[in-house]
Amino acid sequence: MPQKHLLTRRLLGTTAVATAMTGVAARAQIPQPKDVQTAIAPAPSFPGNLDMNLDVNGRQHRLSLDPRTTLLDALRDHLGLTGTKKGCDHGQCGACTVLINGVRMNSCLSLAASREGDKIVTIEGLADGEKLHPMQTSFVHADAFQCGFCTPGQICSAVGMANELKRGVPSAVTIDVAAAPTASVDEVRERMSGNICRCSAYPNIVAAILAATEGVTK
Amino acid sequence: MKAFTFERATDVDAAVASSAKPGARFIAGGTNLLDLMKVEVEKPAHLIDISRLPLRDIAETPEGDLTVGALVSNTDLAAHPKVRERYPMLARAVVNGASAQLRNQATTGGNLLQRTRCPYFYDVAKSCNKRTPGAGCSALQGINRMTAVLGGSDACIAAHPSDMAVALMALEATIETKGGSKGGRKIAIADFYRLPGDTPHRETNLEPGELIVSVALPPPPAGQQTYRKVRDRASYAFALVSVAAILDLDADKRVRGARLALGGVGTMPWRALDAEKGMVGAEAGDKAFAAAGAVAMAGARGRGGNDFKIPLAKRVVARTFAGLATSISKG
């Protein structure tokens, strides 16, 4: 983003949206995966490296990586997909949440080599071309972020959460675990407890997710 | 993280065969193992990725058991219609553990084998007999609020962290394996875990290279069942105390049968058989439920920071049974 001398709350918000969502407005500034592929030098093939194919946002990537490389580090450091954030690197904060075969997981607790053959979707892959994913739109409308660092993980997690509600996955606050769960403030707060927001933007995050999820469970 | 070599196993036999390599470990969800590798508490020389093995089914046997493949995710276990209907305490226990992302990734077999969250086990600058046999235990005189009050020894008081395994204890699950000296066997969960004694680094009776392939749940015993967890936060925290309980009452509201297992308080998922036996025939009510709590915690020993768990566990046991009795009387 161009430098601004007078940063207002609205401008800060816009910056956060662009950073976090790689959406319509941000397309021009943020390198896309296909550009990144040529921009970043492929990792040198050290002895002991593993050759692997990763399917990320619908594209196949051939990589040669140290077996210790986590999926998170592969995405950020080797594919240039820096929308996925590294917070704690121990599965406690949720900033690294991505969708693996449609299911939300912490990319910091997966080895990249273990994810060969899976379909990985990051925040950069949620939008349909120029059209934001409904969960992204809902976060924008509800102003569901402050600094924006946790937002990509929050949005990927929320998309996965909506799918889980649809499948009837119970939660710790579901009173009758045998019945179909429905979206509510309590359910969303419980189901999103794996995503920490240091700014504590939770009221708006919950509102954004409820607004986008209602269509899924009703 | 220490360097390792990596292979993806194509079938169960190949995985078991590869486990003979020096320093080999199986990895499935990896939520615990990879985390421990990052802090170099775990240092495998070779990882066998078993995540693609065909162990993801939940199936009913002709005998009425429910067989859960070792690679069924925690989420898929809790979401399965038969688990939600017949084993609600198991569904509740699972969704009370970890976060949604972790439950999506973590497996049934891996959950059984997860390591303690004792901070001294994680901190390589501190002594821990579980991490380095013979090194000593920093928790005994240290910050031990989260540690166990049942089953501990002078070598180790680390609490077992699983919620799922507590429900499996109460449900008398059986663990099926491949590999090891017998080529595979069935182990009752009551015989699966070990008390720390003077070998706290050995947490289960699995042999080297023995691979969990499934967990079998026998038909649920009669009665109402639930799982109740008390923790520092409303969500996404390990148990201070948790209770898996089943209560069956006759027409006169006397206890016909009961099951009780506790989490957060034991060095292994803790079955309270004496408390169960003591309840049978008693009139359902506060007196019998308080007695059950007292019997369950009779052998408990606090180490300072964790003393509060003993009265807390007694109360949670009593309250959980009282809740079940109320639910039964409402029909």
Chain B, window 14-73: residues with a beta carbon less than 8 angstroms from a chain A beta carbon: 27, 29-31, 34-35, 38, 47, 49, 51-52
Instruction: Give the domain ranges of chain B.
Output: 5-51, 224-329
Tokens 């660092």: give the residue: A149
> Do A45 and A56 belong to one domain?
yes
Nearest beta carbon to residue B101 from set A68, A70, A194: A194
> Do A106 and A146 belong to one domain?
no
pLDDT score for B124: 97
Answer yes or no: CATH 3.40.50.1100 is held by domain B224-329.
no
Q: Which two tokens stand for residue A29?
A: 């500034």
Decide if A83 is inside a domain.
yes
Q: Tens of pLDDT along A191-216?
A: 999 999 999 999 999 999 999 997 65
pLDDT score for A48: 87
Q: Tens of pLDDT along B3-26?
A: 999 999 999 999 999 999 999 999
> Do A212 and A132 belong to one domain?
yes
Taking the CA of residue A157 and the nearest CA in chain B, the distance in Å comes to 8
Q: What total number of domains does chain A contain? A: 2
The residues pairing with B270 across neighbouring beta strands, listed in sequence order, are B262
- B46, B23 Cβ separation under 8 angstroms: yes
> ipTM of the assembly?
0.97
pLDDT score for B331: 78
Where are the alpha helices (H) located in B160-285, listed in sequence order?
164-170, 273-279
The answer to whether residue B6 neighbours chain A at the CB level (below 8 Å) is yes
Chain B partners of A190 at a C-beta cutoff of 8 Å?
234-235
Output the CA angle B45-B49-B51, nearest 5 degrees: 155
Q: Tens of pLDDT along B191-231?
A: 999 999 999 999 999 999 999 999 999 999 999 999 999 99
Q: What is the mean pLDDT of residues B248-259?
A: 98
Q: Tens of pLDDT along A147-160?
A: 999 999 999 999 99
Pairing, β B211-217 against β B66-69: antiparallel
> Do A64 and A45 belong to one domain?
yes
Share of chain B above pLDDT 90, in %: 99
Q: Could you tell me the CATH number of the domain that includes residue A121?
A: 3.10.20.30
> Do A68 and A102 belong to one domain?
yes
pLDDT score for A47: 75
End-to-end CA distance of chain A: 39
Decide if A19 is inside a domain.
yes
> Do A115 and A148 belong to one domain?
no
Residue among A171, A216, A181, A138 at smallest CA distance from B104: A171
Domain that residue A192 falls in: 9-23+128-217
Nearest beta carbon to residue B4 from set A67, A172, A178: A67
Q: What is the mean pLDDT of residues A72-99?
A: 98
> Do A172 and A196 belong to one domain?
yes
Domain termination site, one of A67, A95, A125: A125
Taking the CA of residue A178 and the nearest CA in chain B, the distance in Å comes to 5
Beta carbons of A104 and B101 less than 8 Å apart = yes
Chain B partners of A117 at a C-beta cutoff of 8 Å?
52
Which residue of chain A has the CA closest to B50?
Answer: A114
Domain termination site, one of A125, A144, A168: A125
Report d(CA B96, CA B6) in Å as an integer: 33
Q: What is the mean pLDDT of residues A183-197?
A: 97
Q: Which two tokens stand for residue B299?
A: 């052998």
> Do A140 and A110 belong to one domain?
no
The answer to whether residue B303 neighbours chain A at the CB level (below 8 Å) is no
Chain A partners of B236 at a C-beta cutoff of 8 Å?
193-194
The CATH code of domain B5-51 reads 3.30.43.10
Is A1 a residue whose pLDDT tops 90?
A: no
Is B251 a residue whose pLDDT tops 70?
A: yes
Report d(CA B26, CA B93) in Å as an integer: 25
Nearest beta carbon to residue A90 from set B38, B47, B101: B38
Q: Tens of pLDDT along A7-48?
A: 434 444 444 444 445 444 444 444 445 544 444 555 556 678
Beta carbons of B88 and A177 less than 8 Å apart = yes
Test mutation, B99, B103, B107, chain A, max A CBs within 10 A: B99
The pairs formed by A23-32 with CB atoms below 8 angstroms and a separation of 24 or more are: A23/A127, A23/A132, A23/A136, A24/A127, A24/A130, A24/A131, A24/A132, A27/A130, A29/A1, A31/A80, A32/A124
Decide if A4 is inside a domain.
no
> Do A107 and A132 belong to one domain?
no
Sheet holding B24-27, edge to edge: B5-8, B46-49, B24-27
pLDDT score for A41: 54
The answer to whether residue B4 neighbours chain A at the CB level (below 8 Å) is yes
Decide if A140 is inside a domain.
yes
> Do A41 and A119 belong to one domain?
yes
Domain termination site, one of A125, A146, A163: A125
> Do A76 and A136 belong to one domain?
no
Q: Is B327 helix (H, G, I), strand (E, B) or coil?
A: helix
Mean pLDDT for all residues in chain B: 98
Chain A partners of B8 at a C-beta cutoff of 8 Å?
113-114, 116
Nearest beta carbon to residue A170 from set B31, B78, B234: B78
Beta carbons of A193 and B99 less than 8 Å apart = yes
Q: Could you tell me the CATH number of the domain that includes residue A13?
A: 1.10.150.120
Q: Which residues of A touch B (CB under 8 A)?
A: 48, 50, 66-68, 70, 89-91, 94, 97, 103-106, 109-111, 113-114, 116-117, 157, 160-161, 164, 167-172, 174, 177-178, 189-195
User: Inter-axis angle of helices A151-167 and A202-217, to 10 degrees?
Assistant: 30
Q: Tens of pLDDT along A103-149?
A: 999 999 999 999 999 999 999 999 999 999 999 999 999 999 999 99
Q: Which two tokens stand for residue A166?
A: 């649809």
